[in-house]
Every structure is written in structure tokens, then in C-alpha cells.
Amino acid sequence: MKTTPLLMLSALLCTLATCINVMPPADFDLEKMAGKWYLVGLATNAQWFVTNKETMKIGTTVLAPTPGGDLDVSYANLTPAGTCWRMTHLAKKTDTPGRFSFRSHTWNNENDMRVVDAVYDSYAIFHTIKTVGDVPEVMNKLYSRSQEVSADLQEKFVQFALDTGVLSENILMLPKSAECSA
């Protein structure tokens, strides 16, 4: 089948329509998100991911709610070279509990981040729409309180990623990794 600009635009609009409807649960509790999480699953059609997914491994994320309702997000990953890569964002609360926004100066993009599912002592699924200029990209993340996740949870994450327009080959359950030292 030949890809036409109209077909590509239709696919993009369908993806965006799906993304717009992804919202946090009504009973979202920011305080219960606090603490250390392992990034065990990642799903996005972004080119940087497609290029680098073979070298990606589990990393850690520490979530720290602020007194004002924002969320400090600190990432740490061990690189293939054995060094530690770190990044921190202050995700600002919105009018919707569980939905945050921030600008990444590292990647030069705007982020609309939503916690869409959480069992606070076990796992959380995040859905982020990253925008550079006028181009949106969907990124879904599966966090766990341990590096182990059940087959059922993996399946749930895969289905969510597919439902938000991510291609099946761009859904990755990350392999275990050593952690960065403090």
C-alpha cells in the first residue's frame, strides 16, 4: 500500500485523539508516588528510542512530591560504558491531579506527563506527550518498586502502549541492570 500525506495525517490524528483521552485515575494520591521506582518498561515510536533501544536497561527514578503539589523526578541509568547518566525535572502540577507539565532543557521539549494507573506499592504506568515545535511524540513508561514484574503486568503495559499508538516493535521490557551508586 502506498503511503500518502493524507494517510499519514489520518494516522497521526488517530494517535493524538487516543492520547488526549488518556487521563489519571480519579483517586490519584501524589504522596503515595513518593520513593524509588525502577523503570522496567518503555514504549515510544520516537526515533531516538528506535536507534538506541538495543542498549537500554532498567534504570531508577526517585519521585519526591513537593509541599506545593509538584513532583521532583530524578532519573539515573548506568550507561553501556559503565558511567552513571542522571537527569532531574520539576514536574509542575496542573488542575488535574496526576497530570504534570515540564520543559526538558536536556531534550528541548515540552512534556505533558500523566500517571494513568498506579498500585502505589507495586507499579505505575506513566503516559507522556513530548512536543518539540509542533511535533508530538508519545512515551509510555512502566515503573515498578522492584526490577521484577509479572507477565500479567507486562501484558497490561503492552496493551496500553498499543492502544496509545506505539508500534509493537517499539515496546520494550528493559533488561535488569546494576544501579548507579549514590
CB-based contact 84:77 (threshold 8 Å): yes
CATH number of the domain enclosing 11 = 2.40.128.20
Confidence of residue 182 (pLDDT cuts 50, 70, 90): low
Please report whether residue 13 resides in a domain.
yes
**Model confidence pLDDT, tens digit, residues 4-47:** 443 344 344 444 444 447 999 999 999 999 999 999 999 999 99
Answer yes or no: is pLDDT of 181 > 60. Answer: yes
Ranges of H-type helices in 87-171: 151-163
Instruction: Provide the domain count of the chain.
Output: 1
In the chain, what is the straight-line distance between the N-terminal and C-terminal CA atoms, in Å? 52
Is residue 125 within 8 A of residue 117, CB to CB? The reply is yes
Domain assignment of residue 181, yes or no: no
Residue 178: inside a domain, yes or no? no
In this structure, is residue 68 part of a structural domain? yes
Residue 139 domain-assigned (yes or no): yes
Decide if 180 is inside a domain: no
Mean pLDDT of the chain: 89
119 inside domain: yes
Find the domain containing 130 and state its range.
5-22+32-173
Amino acid at 85: W
Residue 131 lies in a domain: yes
pTM of structure: 0.88
DSSP secondary-structure letter at 82? S
By percentage, how much of the chain surpasses pLDDT 70? 88
| pLDDT at 59 (0 to 100) | 96
